Structure 1
Amino acid sequence: MNKEKEEIVERIINNSLDKIMAERFGRYSKYIIQQRALPDVRDGLKPVHRRILYAMSELGLTNDKPYKKSARVVGDVIGKYHPHGDTSVYDAMVNMSQWWKSGIPLLDMHGNVGSLDNDPAAAMRYTEVRMAKVCNYMLEDLKKNTVAFIPNFDDSEKEPSVLPTIFPNLLVNGTTGIAIGMATEMPPHNLNEVLEATIAKLRRPSITLDGLMEHIKGPDFPTGGIIYGNKGVFEAFESGKLEKEKIKLFCKYEVVKKDKLQFIEITEIPFGVVKSQLVYDIDVLINTETIDGLLEIKDQSDREGIKIVITLSEEANVESIISFLLQKTSMQVNYSYNNVVIHNNSPKLMGLNELLEAYIEHIKIIKTRTLTYDLEKYLLRLEIVLGFIKVSEIPDKVIKVIRATEGGKAAVIENLMNAFNFTTNQATAIAELRLYRLSKTDKEAFLIEQADLEKKIANTKELLDDEKKFVNYLILLLKQMIKDMPTPRRTQIFEEEFTFNHDKKDLVKEEIVNIAFSKLGYIKRLSQKVVDSNDFSTFALKEDDYLLYIDKANTVHNFLVFTNWGNYAIIPVYKIQETKWKELGTHLSAFVDLAPGENIINVIEVEDWNSPDFIVMATKLGFFKRTKIKDFEVSRTNKTYTAINIDNKDEVINVAVSDGTKDILIITAMGFATKYNEAEISLYGPKAKGTKGVYLVNKDFVACFTPTHFNDIVIMISDDGYIKKMKSREIYYVPKTAKGKEIFKNRKLNPYFISDMHSSENDEKILIKLEDNKIAVRSTKDYSITNSDDSFTKIKTDSYMAGFIKKEVKAYKFDRSKAYQKIIQQEEEQDINKTLEIEIIKASKPPRKSKESKEKTLEINLLTDAQKPKKSEEQRFKDAEDQINTFDLNVEELLAKINRTLGDTDTKKKKK
C-alpha cells in the first residue's frame, strides 16, 4: 500500500494548470490541424482519404478490378493505418464516391451511396467499392521511391506521407474542414481548365493572375448552376479568401407556358444545397406567404437528372416571383473561399498562383524521382542484358565453368566473375538463367532490348539534365490527362451581376380588406362580405380589451404601429392572416415582440413610402416632432425600431399623420387648448427627442392632439363616456410658450381625460366598448356642435368602458391635381387666422386702449390691406401652379411660402 502511494506521489506534476492546459491543448490543436482537418497542398488529401486510397491500392482495387465489400476496406484502413471509428472512415469513403460533392469522384461505389436529398448511404456491409480511373494518376508511381513512407500508429506497417499524384486533386475536387482556430473551404474547379492553366504556368512561370483566369474562369461545381459577377472570383483567386466580395451561385431554370399555366423548371441547383430542403422551403413559402399566382411545387427528379417544377397561374408575374424565390430560398447561395492548406507542415492561406506553384513543384519532384528510379532500373537491366549477350557468344565456356564449380550459387557467381569479369549483377543473373535462353533467338532479342534500353537511358538522362525538355515532358503528361478525362464546364459564369427586380407589390394579390387593431395587440383581417354580414355587437374582444383601429386597407400597403414607449413596427397588410368575425385574431407578437407594459397607441396605413406626408408625435410631457414618412421605411419587419427618444418618466400619447398644411390642436389634462401651425414643429429623424411644443403649468400634461383645418369640426371623447363637438376655428392661435385657452375645467376628484380626439369636416362613427363586452356604434351627428367653453355631453349608451372615433388614418401618395385647391384653401385659412392672431396679440399688449382706439387701429389695418392690389382667380391659380412646379416634395419649403402669402381683400372683408 505504501509503495502504491509513493508511485502516485512520483506522478504528481508540480506546475500550474494553465501552463499544462496550454501545452496539452497546443499539442492537440497541432494534431487536429495537421492530421485531421486540413488537406495537404501537394495531393489535396486529408490523412483519412490518403489512407483509404493507399489501403485500396494494397488490396489491388483498381478501376479494372472487381468491386470489394466496403466493410473489408474499412477494416483494413482502421486496422492498419487509421485508429478511429469505422463510421468516420466509411462516411469519408461515401463522400469520395458522391458525384454531387466532388468535381471528379475518387471512388467508384456500387450500391446506395445517398442522394441529393441528403439520404444516407446503405450500410458498409451492403455496398462495394473500388478506385476510380483518376486514381491511376495518383498512385502509379507509388512504388518508385517517389514519396517518403512513415510508420503507422503502432509501427507495424508503413504508409505514405503524401501520394505521388500528378492529378490536381485539391483544385479539382475542393475540400472543407474545421480545425482549431482555422478552417478551410475550397470549391471544385474544372479539370481541363486547371491543367490548361498549369501548362500555361509551366511555359511562363511569371504569368499573372489575369493570364491564369483566361484558363480558369472560376469554380466549376458538379451540380452546375450559374455564377453572376466575377469580382468575387478575382478576389478569391488573388488572396485565397473572400472578404469584400461574394461568389453568388444561382440555380439554373427555364420558364415554360402550357395549358394556361406557367411553370418554372429548375434543372440545376447550387452546390451544397439539399434538394429536398429546397423543395420544402419553397412549399412553405407557398403556404405561408401570400404570393399571388404561386400555386404549387413538385419534385420530378429521376435518374436522368434534376427537375423541380413550380406551377404559376397564367397572370402571375414570373420575373418578380423568380426574383423573390432567389432571395428567400437556397435557389441562390453565396459561396466562400478560404484556401487554408498544409504547406511544409504548417497551415497557410494560398491564392491560385501559390496553389499552382505548389502543385507544379510537387509534380516536378515526383517525376524527377520517377525518372531517376526508371534510369536506375534501365541501367541495371542494361548491365544484365550485356552480360546475357556476352554469355550467348561463349555459352560453352560459361557452362564449363559452372559445371566445374564446387559449391552452391554463391560459388558459381564468384567463379563467373573471376573467369569472365562479369559484374555481380551479371553473374547473379547468369547463374539464375535457364539454358534455353542461350539460343540464337534469345541473343537477337537481347540485342534489340539493348538498343531499346540505351535509347531510354539517353532520353531519361536528357530529361533529367535539360530543364526545358523536362518541362515539355510534364506538359505532354498533362495533355494526355486532358485527353483521357475530357471534362466540359458545368457551371456557367457571367460577368454582370444579377439584378433582383421584384417589388413586394408585384407578388401580392391587390385587394381591399378590413383591418382591425385592438389595444392589447390583437389584429384581424376581415373581408368586406364578413363585415357586411355581421354586427359590431358580436365582434370578438377580450374583456379588458377594446378597439383601437378598424378600416379598409389595401393588401399591398403597410401599417406603421406605434407604441407608448416611442417605438414602432411595420406590418405588411398581406402578412395579416384572415380571421373570423368572432375570433380574437392574430396577436402582434406573431410579427414583433413588445416589452412588458408596452402598448399600441395608434396605427397608420402607409400607401407609399415616398409620400410627402409627415408623422406628428407628441409625448405626455409636451415634446413634439415631425418625421417624414420615408424615414420610417426599413427592410426588416420582424423587430421594433425607435420612433422618438423619450425619457423614462415620459410616454407617447398620440401619433398622427398630416400633409404639412394643417394646424395642430393640443388639449391638456387640465382642459387647456393650444393651436398653432404644423410648420412650427421641427423636422427630426426617428431617433430624435423633439422639442417642447406646448406650455404646461403645475402637474398638467398633454392628453391628446390632432391635426386640424380651420373649417373642421373637432370631436373629443373622454374616458368616462362624454363627448364634445366644437369648431376648430374657436381655438385661436396660441404661441407654444403661452398658456392655452381653457375649454373645460377638470374635476379635482376622479378627473377625466380625453381618450380620443379627431378633426374632420364630416361626421364620424364612435365605437364604444360596453360592460357586457359588446360594441355599440354611435354617430357624432347625433350630438350638437357647442362652443369651446361649453361642457361635455354624455354619450348615449347604457354602459361605457372605452371608445374610439372611427377615422381614416393614411399616408397617401402626392396628388398633384389636388394641390392647387389645397394651396388656395390654405391661403384663405392662413389669412383669417393671422388676422385673428394679430388682434389677439394686440388686445393682450399693455397699455389697454379704448374701444374707439382699437376700432381705429383695426380700420387702419384693414384700409392698409385694402390698398393692396387684388389678385384675380386666374392669378392665384397661376401662383399656386408655380409653387407646385417647385414643390419637389419639400413640404417645409412649400409651407414657408404659403405662410408668407397673406390672402386677398375678399378674405379681409369676410373678417370685417
Structure 2
Amino acid sequence: MTEPTDLTPSGRLPVTIEEEMRSSYLAYAMSVIVSRALPDVRDGLKPVHRRILYAMRESGFTADKPYRKSARAVGDVMGKYHPHGDSSIYDAMVRMAQHWSMRVKLIDGQGNFGSVDGDSPAAMRYTEARLAKASSFLLDDIERDTVDFQPNYDESENEPKVLPAVFPNLLVNGAAGIAVGMATNIPTHNPGEVIDATLAMIANPAIELDELMQIIPGPDFPTGGIIMGRSGIRRAYETGRGSIPVRARAEIEEIRKDRQAIIITEIPYQVNKATLQEKIADLVRSKEIEGISDIRDESDRSGMRVVIELKRDATPDVVLNQLYRFTQLQTSFSANMLALDDGKPRTMGLKDILEAFLRFREEVILRRARFDLNKARDRGHLLVGLVLAVANIDEVIALIRAAPDAATARESLMAREWDASEVVPLLELIHDEGNVIIDGKVRLTEAQARGILELRLQRLTGLEREKIQGELGEVAQKIGELLAIIESRPRRMEVMREELLAARAEVATPRVTEISDALGDQTDESLIEPGQMVVTITRDGFIKRTPLEVFRSQNRG
C-alpha cells in the first residue's frame, strides 16, 4: 500500500494562487525598486546611468578622447551590462547630455540631443558622445578596489555596484523615478553650494539644518526660474518631502509706442516650452485670458526669449498674473527625496543625504589607501631585493652563470643566505615583513629572485644604483603617508576635503535659480483689472459691483 502524497501529477508541491502572486509580485517590486527606478544615495545614479558611465570609461570614450558614435556606446552597455532595450539606454544617455535636464552634464554630446521644446533627439546612429569632464569625479579610482563589484546578468563580466563619487551627485543632479508603490523626485542643486555644505559637515559633523540652509538656500534648477517662498524648501530638507513653487522669470517691456509685451527668459524645471506656448494660445482662443495679441518664440543660441505681445488696453501685471495661475509659467516641484541607502529605500532630508555620502566617501578613501599600501609594499619588497643584489653583484652573477636555466638560477638565489646588514634598515623603513632575518642573514623571496633575474645590466651602473635607492626612499615616504590615512580619521577627512576642493574648482558654476521670500499663491485681486467701482446694496441685502463709468451711464437719465 503506497503512502498518500501531496505532490501534483507533475511532481510539484501545490501552491495557492494567493501565495504565488504575493511572492512573485514582491520579487518583481524589489527588482524594480533596487535595480531600476531608484538612485543610490552614494553616487546618485540608477543602474542604467551607472552602467553607461562605466561602459564608456572601459571603452575609452573619455573627455580627452574624440567623440564616438552613440550607437557604439549603447551597444557596449546593452551587450555587457544592461540586458534591456537599446531605446531605454539611449534615452538615459541623452538625458545626461542635456544641459536643461542636468545641473552638471555627465555626457558630452555632439549632434541633435533634443531641445527644451520636447523635440526628440536624433537616432543614436547619427549622434556622437563621450564622457564629460565632470564624470571623471564619479569614476576616478574605480580600478583601485574602492567599490565592490558584482557579476553582470550572464556572469561574463563584472560591474560596479556603485561608483566612487567625489561629490554628492544625488543632490547636484537630482533624480526622478517611479518604482512599485513608491516614487522619487529629487531637485537639482548648485554644485558649488553642495560641495561647500559637504565641507561644512566635515568641519562640524553636528552642524544644524539652519546652518546648512545658509549654504544651500534651496534647489538650483538648470532652467533657472524663481522659487517663491522658503517654507516648502524647509519641509523638503527637514522631512524629505515638500512642495516648492517655481515661477518663470518674466519682464514687461515696451516693444514699440503704446505696445507692451511680457518677455519670458526662464521657465520652471521640466516644463516643455512648446507645450507652454500652445497652452497660452488655447487660453487666448477660448477667451479665458484676454489682452494678448501675439505670441512668438525668439529663442536662439544666446538664450531663451518668448515674447507675449499685449493689446493696447491690456494691463500687463494682470495678464502676467493670469498666466501664472492658468499655465505652467508657475508650477510646484513636489520634492520626494527617496533613495537607496544600504540597499533599502529611505526618504531622507538634506543632512541625511550628506551624512550618507560622507560615510561612503570615507570608506572609499580607506579602501583606496589599503590598495595603494599593498602596491607600495610589493614595490618596496622588490626594491629591497634589488638593493641586496647590487650590494652582492659578483656573487649574484656567479650564481646565475653557473645555473643551467632560469628556474635553477631562481632557486639558487632563494637558497643562498645573504648578509642582512644592507637591508635591515630598508625593511624597517618600508614596514616590509616579507623577508625573515635570522642570525643576521636573510633569504630572498621568489618575487625578489624573479626581479633580480629580470634586472637589466644598465641598472648596475652607479647612477642606476642611486635611482634604486631614491625610488626606495619615495616608496617609504608614500607608505608612511598611506599608513597615516589608514590609522587616522582626521587625516582621511583632510584627504576628502582636498578632493572636494579639487572637484569644486571644476564643476562649480554660479546659481541660476533665484529664491524669493514672496509667496507664489495668486489672489483673486491680482487677476482683476484695476479701476474705480461702485458697490450698491439692495433692500433685500444683495451686493452688486459696477464699474464707475457704467454706473454713470446707467444713471444719466
TM-based fold match above 0.5: yes
What 5-or-longer segments of structure 2 have no aligned partner?
1-6, 419-442, 552-557
Indicate conservation of the 8 Å contact 2:318/2:527, yes or no.
no
Mapping of residues 744-763 of structure 1, within 5 Å: none
Aligned to 2:246: 249
Aligned to 1:454: 476
Displacement, 1:431? 1.7
1:417 aligns with 2:414: yes
- Note the alpha carbon deviations across 1:221-272, whole angstroms, 9 max, x for none: 0011111211110100000012xxx311111122221321212211111100
Secondary structure of 1:337 counterpart: strand
- Note the alpha carbon deviations across 1:151-199, whole angstroms, 9 max, x for none: 1111111111111112311111100111111000001111111111111
Aligned to 1:295: 293
Aligned to 1:339: 337
Aligned to 1:258: 255
1:286–1:507 distance in 2 versus 1, CA, 3 Å: farther
Displacement, 1:479? 0.9
Displacement, 1:73? 1.4
Displacement, 1:501? 5.9
In structure 2, distance between residues paired with 1:217 and 1:201: 16
Secondary structure of 2:9 counterpart: helix
Mapping of residues 670-685 of structure 1, within 5 Å: none
1:218–1:411 distance in 2 versus 1, CA, 3 Å: farther
Indicate conservation of the 8 Å contact 2:8/2:14, yes or no.
no
In structure 2, distance between residues paired with 1:304 and 1:137: 29
Indicate conservation of the 8 Å contact 1:184/1:339, yes or no.
yes
1:11–1:106 distance in 2 versus 1, CA, 3 Å: farther
Aligned to 1:305: 303
1:9–1:169 distance in 2 versus 1, CA, 3 Å: same
1:200–1:38 distance in 2 versus 1, CA, 3 Å: same
Higher share in helix? 2
In structure 2, distance between residues paired with 1:814 and 1:300: 38
1:470 aligns with 2:492: yes
Displacement, 1:392? 2.9
Displacement, 1:292? 4.8
In structure 1, distance between residues paired with 2:537 and 2:11: 81
Aligned to 1:14: 14
1:263–1:113 distance in 2 versus 1, CA, 3 Å: same
The residue type paired with residue 488 of structure 2 is D
In structure 2, distance between residues paired with 1:814 and 1:93: 58
Secondary structure of 1:10 counterpart: coil
The two structures have a TM-score, normalised by structure 1, of: 0.54
In structure 2, distance between residues paired with 1:238 and 1:504: 32
Aligned to 2:426: none
The residue type paired with residue 95 of structure 1 is R
In structure 1, distance between residues paired with 2:119 and 2:537: 55
1:490 aligns with 2:512: yes
- Note the alpha carbon deviations across 1:750-786, whole angstroms, 9 max, x for none: xxxxxxxxxxxxxxxxxxxxxxxxxxxxxxxxxxxxx
1:174–1:504 distance in 2 versus 1, CA, 3 Å: closer
Secondary structure of 1:309 counterpart: strand
The residue type paired with residue 156 of structure 2 is S
The residue type paired with residue 264 of structure 2 is I
RMSD of equivalent CA atoms: 2.4
1:427 aligns with 2:427: no
In structure 1, distance between residues paired with 2:542 and 2:356: 59
1:394–1:614 distance in 2 versus 1, CA, 3 Å: farther
In structure 1, distance between residues paired with 2:194 and 2:58: 29
In structure 1, distance between residues paired with 2:19 and 2:123: 44
1:155 aligns with 2:155: yes
The residue type paired with residue 62 of structure 1 is T
Higher share in strand? 1
The residue type paired with residue 480 of structure 2 is A
Q: Kindly, what percent of the aligned residue pairs are identical? A: 40
Aligned to 1:328: 326
Aligned to 1:869: none
Aligned to 1:897: none
Displacement, 1:139? 1.3
Which of 380, 384, 405 is the equivalent residue of 1:386? 384
Aligned to 2:82: 82
Displacement, 1:503? 4.1
Displacement, 1:452? 1.6
Secondary structure of 1:487 counterpart: coil
Indicate conservation of the 8 Å contact 2:36/2:48, yes or no.
yes
1:422–1:812 distance in 2 versus 1, CA, 3 Å: closer
Indicate conservation of the 8 Å contact 2:190/2:508, yes or no.
no
Relative contact order, higher structure (CA 8 A, sep 6+): 2
In structure 1, distance between residues paired with 2:24 and 2:187: 33
What 5-or-longer segments of structure 1 have no aligned partner?
1-6, 511-555, 557-606, 616-627, 631-810, 819-912
- Note the alpha carbon deviations across 1:654-703, whole angstroms, 9 max, x for none: xxxxxxxxxxxxxxxxxxxxxxxxxxxxxxxxxxxxxxxxxxxxxxxxxx
Indicate conservation of the 8 Å contact 2:297/2:306, yes or no.
yes
In structure 1, distance between residues paired with 2:523 and 2:410: 88
In structure 1, distance between residues paired with 2:345 and 2:104: 25
Higher mean C-alpha displacement, 444-453 vs 351-360: 444-453
The residue type paired with residue 313 of structure 1 is K
In structure 2, distance between residues paired with 1:63 and 1:153: 28
Secondary structure of 1:311 counterpart: strand
Equivalent pairs, count? 517
1:221–1:391 distance in 2 versus 1, CA, 3 Å: same
Indicate conservation of the 8 Å contact 1:94/1:113, yes or no.
yes
Aligned to 2:69: 69
In structure 2, distance between residues paired with 1:12 and 1:614: 86
Aligned to 1:191: 191
Mapping of residues 104-253 of structure 1, within 5 Å: 104-242=104-242, 246-253=243-250
The residue type paired with residue 359 of structure 2 is E
Displacement, 1:476? 1.2
Indicate conservation of the 8 Å contact 2:166/2:503, yes or no.
no
The residue type paired with residue 296 of structure 1 is D
In structure 1, distance between residues paired with 2:224 and 2:446: 61
Displacement, 1:504? 7.7
1:129–1:383 distance in 2 versus 1, CA, 3 Å: same
The residue type paired with residue 164 of structure 2 is P
In structure 2, distance between residues paired with 1:504 and 1:353: 38
Displacement, 1:127? 1.1
Indicate conservation of the 8 Å contact 1:613/1:812, yes or no.
no
In structure 2, distance between residues paired with 1:11 and 1:277: 59
In structure 1, distance between residues paired with 2:545 and 2:52: 69
1:114–1:11 distance in 2 versus 1, CA, 3 Å: farther
In structure 2, distance between residues paired with 1:319 and 1:814: 20
Mapping of residues 390-789 of structure 1, within 5 Å: 390-408=388-406, 410-419=407-416, 420=418, 421-498=443-520, 500=522, 503=525, 506-507=528-529, 612-613=537-538, 629=542
The residue type paired with residue 295 of structure 1 is S
1:504–1:444 distance in 2 versus 1, CA, 3 Å: closer
1:813–1:323 distance in 2 versus 1, CA, 3 Å: closer
Secondary structure of 1:336 counterpart: strand
The two structures have a TM-score, normalised by structure 2, of: 0.88
In structure 2, distance between residues paired with 1:162 and 1:123: 29
Indicate conservation of the 8 Å contact 1:297/1:310, yes or no.
yes
Indicate conservation of the 8 Å contact 2:104/2:507, yes or no.
no
1:93–1:291 distance in 2 versus 1, CA, 3 Å: closer
Indicate conservation of the 8 Å contact 1:392/1:439, yes or no.
no
The residue type paired with residue 18 of structure 2 is D
Displacement, 1:813? 6.1
Secondary structure of 2:271 counterpart: coil
In structure 2, distance between residues paired with 1:814 and 1:162: 67
Aligned to 1:274: 272
In structure 1, distance between residues paired with 2:546 and 2:286: 29
In structure 1, distance between residues paired with 2:235 and 2:128: 42
Indicate conservation of the 8 Å contact 1:237/1:351, yes or no.
yes
In structure 2, distance between residues paired with 1:387 and 1:407: 20
In structure 1, distance between residues paired with 2:546 and 2:253: 37
